[in-house]
Amino acid sequence: MKKLLAVALLAALSLPAHSYIEAMYPLQQMIAECEVIAEGVIEKADVKNKTAVAKITKNIKGKCHYEQIRMNLSGGQFWHSEVIMKHMVVGAPVVMLYNAGRQGEMYVNRFFIQLYGDAGAPPDKAWWNYTHIEIRCNRTYCGPVDEFIKLLNEIQAGKVKAPAPDPKIRPISKEDVIALPAPGEAVDPEKLPASFRRREPAAAGKPRDPENPTLPVKGLQYAYYEGQWEALPDFSKLQPAKSGTADQIDLSKRGKDVAYGLLFSGFIEAPKDGVYTFTTNSNDGSKLWIGKSEIVNNDHHHGVTEANGEVALKTGKHAITVAYFQSGGQQVLEVFWEGPGIPKQPLPAAALFHVK
């Protein structure tokens, strides 16, 4: 864990302040680099002062040096300190993982948070400082805490192998953490935010029929808008500053470098029947639709973030729409696909069409 945390920290320090890139840990490596893994329960939570205390109840690996994990949750990067206290509910189970240097992760209510402890302080007086939610570690595991505890015990006993990370799960956003039911609240697995849902294979769904428009020509239609947003607006209700056709999906049609949006629409040609994965990598928000179905939701104000989704397509030309907005800072919009015989790659201009 020490090595992974150091790499993540160096990556963050080398980027502009608004960027946020985080390691996606394999669970087996996380376990191997931890000196201690222990079960616990939230014993106290002070919403006003943003502190919490977890009581350690049972060791899973090693022997925990602390009877209590005292947490200062008032810090944290970006929006992370704003949303954490909702999930620090007295009685909620947690898992604490840390190394010899007291660099730690706590698993609480389906996600990991990073904590740094004071290795030099007596165990009964030590405090752990919160730095951030591990927004990509949901790809390592995102189930209930009690199921995570069972999995860790089975891994330690040699009964099962640690699952591999799933890079196709969407990273956690602020809206996901707000929408996630707090510990003790009723949970409908089908209504959890996408970042906390176990994915079902898209191949199980009925393949989509293509529109196959008459007399298509190369390229997509685009519309460029100007405005300041924190999430994608309804572009259909706005007047574009300019519009036209674009050979590919990128930011070359923008009119300025801050506070703008772009909407691309047309058709993409699927060369074979099969399941296709579409990915957007953007700063700030983006979404992708095939027909009227939202396939990728990478919305809201954030640093460079990748998200994806799957859809089963029949051979032919399918309607595609990509929306993007830029609020300030770094400008990034990349769109990828992969499918039958197609490795992950940028959407090729040769596959994009529109109708005049």
* Domains of the chain in sequence order: 2-196 (no CATH), 202-354 (2.60.120.1560)
pLDDT score for 4 = 44
pLDDT at position 239 is 97
Q: How many CB atoms lie within 10 A of CB 178?
A: 12
Q: What is the pLDDT of residues 310-324, one digit of tens each?
A: 899 999 999 999 999
Please write the tens of the pLDDT for every residue from 45-75.
Answer: 999 999 999 999 999 999 999 999 999 998 8
Q: Which parts of the chain have pLDDT scores under 50?
A: 2-23, 201-204
Predicted TM-score of the model (pTM) = 0.60
Provide the pLDDT for residue 120. Answer: 85
Per-residue confidence (pLDDT) for residue 2, from 0 to 100: 42
The predicted pLDDT at position 205 comes to 63
Residue 7 has a pLDDT of 38
